[in-house]
Amino acid sequence: MAVDYISLWNEQHERANRQKEVWIDGRDFWEDPRNIRRFVDRLMTGDRSRIEGQLAAMQIPAGSTVLDIGAGPGSLAVPLALAGCDVTVVEPSAGMRAAMKEYREASGAPEIRVIPSRWEDADPGEVGRHDVVVASFSLGLDDIGPSLQKIDSAAKHAVHLFWFLTPPAWTRANVILWPKLHGSEFTFEPTADLLWNCLCQLGIYPNIMVEHVEKGQRYPTVEEAVADYCRRLYVRDGWQRETVTSFVRERLVQTETGFCNPGTSKTAHIWWEKGFREPDYVL
Amino acid sequence: MCYNNSGTSGTAIDYISLWDEQHARSLAQKERMGEGGGKFWSNQDVVDRFVRNLITGDRSRIEGQIAGMQIPPGSSVLDIGAGPGTLAVPLALAGCRVTVVEPSVPMGEAMEKYHRVVNAPALRAIRSRWEDVSPGEAGVHDVVVASRSLSMGDIRSSLLKMDAAAKHAVHLYWFLPSPSDSGGNAELWPVLHGEPYCGEAGADVLWNALCQLGIYANVHVETKERNHRYASFEELRRDYYNRLSVAEDWQREIVDAFLLERAVPDGSGYVVPGRSRSAHIWWEK
């Protein structure tokens, strides 16, 4: 009767991971300087509405200690440090850490403590406990049971997770093109519904706020869009590139500032406060 | 629009069937005990106690629910399984045009009484189970509410009918399972009847069933101290006998022993302390 959601998550995550290993030749998406460059550019000059929405939804008081897991280029960590929070990030990618440093210095934000590690490998003693723990679009974690328990243990007051509730717009291309390019079905990471079920299974019953995302991915030029899709689809051969190019050209829509691949999706803000379940242990 | 992630999900669980099957098991168990067909909710003692709790009891939960829904005055509201008017009457007082769907005649009478006592504007009543109400009869309302009244079969049709009856928003309240805190059912039932207790599926299954229907709803989880108050130990005991389908003296002894251990005096009455968890599940259209 009782469904083991944690095993379901782990199985789907492993399938999604395996396909990355096969096609990426061991190279991480986040180690590619081109992907990182696009992230930082968007952070500095792009539309900040999503990040502002996230910050408003979390309502973290100034002066709080915040742990940001999988902080990337500091999308949330830098604004939080600027808003007076004492921020620690856990980020395994050297490229991302360099990007965050660049972003932090350019915005004049105070020092951020950096733990250069995957969350799964981070030492709880080194991580410490923080008023608030945040993980924004960084939940592609192994062994989800212990990973989530470690997140919960690191928080004194609240935990905020953001994750895809339906696969984001760009994965539509993967669903359609992956079988043609690689001869197998595309597996997306498990979505936020399963994440919520895992948390319930662990005895944590979090709140959920659903966010409707109207905008698809945006690009300054068609070439950049094609290059991004080729990267995400692990394209290596000429014939693959042709397939992707015609797919992207068919769907791309011109906007005032460039091009956009339209498509909507939903994301979930999953959060809980710690008051009810346990006393505030001192480590 | 819902994006059908076909072929990519390894987690295709049919939550709608899970709900329907669990509801059917729960219903079958109640019927075996002679408690089918909503008999519990038409028991005059139960109705009287609900009304008394409504008028003199702790109003914080109701106030929290009404504040949480943020329904603007002047809205038309459909309250499904309204009971004695727990939310419907305060909503009518707050300036909403309220229609209730409630199958139990004594509950309907209790609502009439409550509504007169507080001098609320008139409400429209549909004396029926939601499953049996036609969409035309239900009409379309700004907001649809169903509070602790989701003991329904064919949950797909029941939920889609709710969604179709709402112009702006739907608010559902339902319990979240917490095995240690069923107020005794899960503990006592097997001892009394030699089989596990079959409760309804919880708010977790409900939320997943909504996702399956392409409705991605928000969830707010509330943990509350249980505060349903009984006027006397006798009333408490009778309620437990009734809920637990107790018919024999040996069963009464077990229930009495349980209550003597758990119940605590509260002013001139009794409560069985504990925590219960419930979810406010809502979506805008």
Which tens digits make up the pLDDT trace of A163-207?
999 988 778 888 899 999 988 888 889 999 999 999 999 999 999
Cα-based distances in Å from A280 to A65, A85, A157, A272? 15, 21, 9, 15
In a domain? residue A9: yes
Query: Average pLDDT for residues A106-113, to the nearest whole number?
Result: 95
pLDDT band at residue B136 under the 50/70/90 scheme = very high
Phi, psi of B259 (to 5 degrees): -70, -35
Closest listed residue to residue B43, CA positions, set B243, B259, B251, B269: B243
Closest listed residue to residue A205, CA positions, set A122, A263, A148, A136: A148
User: What CA dihedral angle connects A123, A124, A125 and A131, to 10 degrees?
Assistant: 140
In a domain? residue A251: no
Cβ-defined contact of A167 to B211 (cutoff 8 Å)? no
Q: Which domain holds residue B77?
A: 15-179+195-226+275-284
Q: Which residues of chain B lie closer than 8 angstroms to A165, CB-CB?
A: 211, 216
The percentage of residues in chain A with a pLDDT greater than 70, rounded to a whole number, is 92
Which one of A104-108, B106-110, B204-208 scores highest in mean pLDDT? B204-208
Cβ B169 vs Cβ B195: under 8 Å: no
In a domain? residue B268: no
**Higher local confidence (pLDDT), A63 or B275:** A63
Closest listed residue to residue A248, CA positions, set A265, A231, A268: A231
CATH of the domain at A67: 3.40.50.150
Query: Scanning every residue of chain B, which has its alpha carbon at the shortest distance from the alpha carbon of A277?
Result: B223
Question: pLDDT, tens digit, for every residue of A223-241?
Answer: 888 988 888 888 888 999 9
- Measured at the CA of A202, the angle between CA A197 and CA A206, to 5 degrees, comes to 60
Distance of alpha carbon B195 from its chain centroid, rounded? Answer: 24
For residue B161, is pLDDT > 80? yes
In a domain? residue B7: no
State chain B's mean pLDDT as an integer.
88
Cβ-defined contact of A205 to B208 (cutoff 8 Å)? no
Between positions 257 and 276 of A, the ones with CB within 8 A of B are 264-266, 268, 272, 276
Q: Which residues are within 8 A (CB) of A108 and not within 5 positions of it... i.e. 6 or more apart?
A: A82
Which residue among B8, B219, B221 places its CB closest to the CB of A175?
Answer: B8
B16 in reach of chain A (CB within 8 A): no
pLDDT band at residue B5 under the 50/70/90 scheme = very low
Q: Which domain holds residue A107?
A: 5-169+185-216+265-273
In a domain? residue B44: yes
Location of structure tokens 């399972």: B177
* Burial bucket for residue B5 (CB in 10 Å: 0-12, 13-18, 19+): middle
DSSP three-state, residue B124: strand
In a domain? residue B251: no
Question: What is the reported pLDDT for B81?
Answer: 96
Question: What is the reported pLDDT for A21?
Answer: 62
Select the residue from A208, A267, A273 to test the B interface by mutation, using most B Cβ atoms within 10 A. A208
| ipTM of the complex model | 0.86
Least confident range from B178-182, B234-238, B259-263: namely: B178-182
In a domain? residue B23: yes
Query: Average pLDDT for residues A89-112, to the nearest whole number?
Result: 92
In a domain? residue B241: no
Q: pTM, whole model, 2 decimals?
A: 0.89
Question: pLDDT, tens digit, for every residue of B37-82?
Answer: 677 777 787 788 777 778 777 788 899 999 999 999 999 999 999 9
In a domain? residue A223: no
Q: Total structural domains in chain B?
A: 1
Q: Please tell me the total number of residues recorded for chain A in this structure.
A: 283
B204 in reach of chain A (CB within 8 A): yes
A194 in reach of chain B (CB within 8 A): yes
Query: Scanning every residue of chain B, which has its alpha carbon at the shortest distance from the alpha carbon of A193?
Result: B208
Q: Are strands A207-213 and A265-273 parallel, antiparallel or unpaired?
A: antiparallel
Cβ-defined contact of A190 to B11 (cutoff 8 Å)? yes
B35 token code pair: 């408690």
Which residue among A3, A207, A266 places its CB closest to the CB of B216?
Answer: A266
Which residue among B6, B10, B218 places its CB closest to the CB of A209?
Answer: B218
Q: Total structural domains in chain A?
A: 1
DSSP three-state, residue B251: helix
In a domain? residue B132: yes
In a domain? residue A47: yes
- Give the whole-angstrom CA distance, residue A138 versus residue A161: 9
Between positions 97 and 136 of A, the ones with CB within 8 A of B are none
For residue A70, is pLDDT > 60? yes
In a domain? residue B82: yes
Cβ B177 vs Cβ B202: under 8 Å: yes
Between positions 218 and 237 of B, the ones with CB within 8 A of A are 218-221, 223
How far A226 CA lies from chain B's nearest CA (Å)? 23
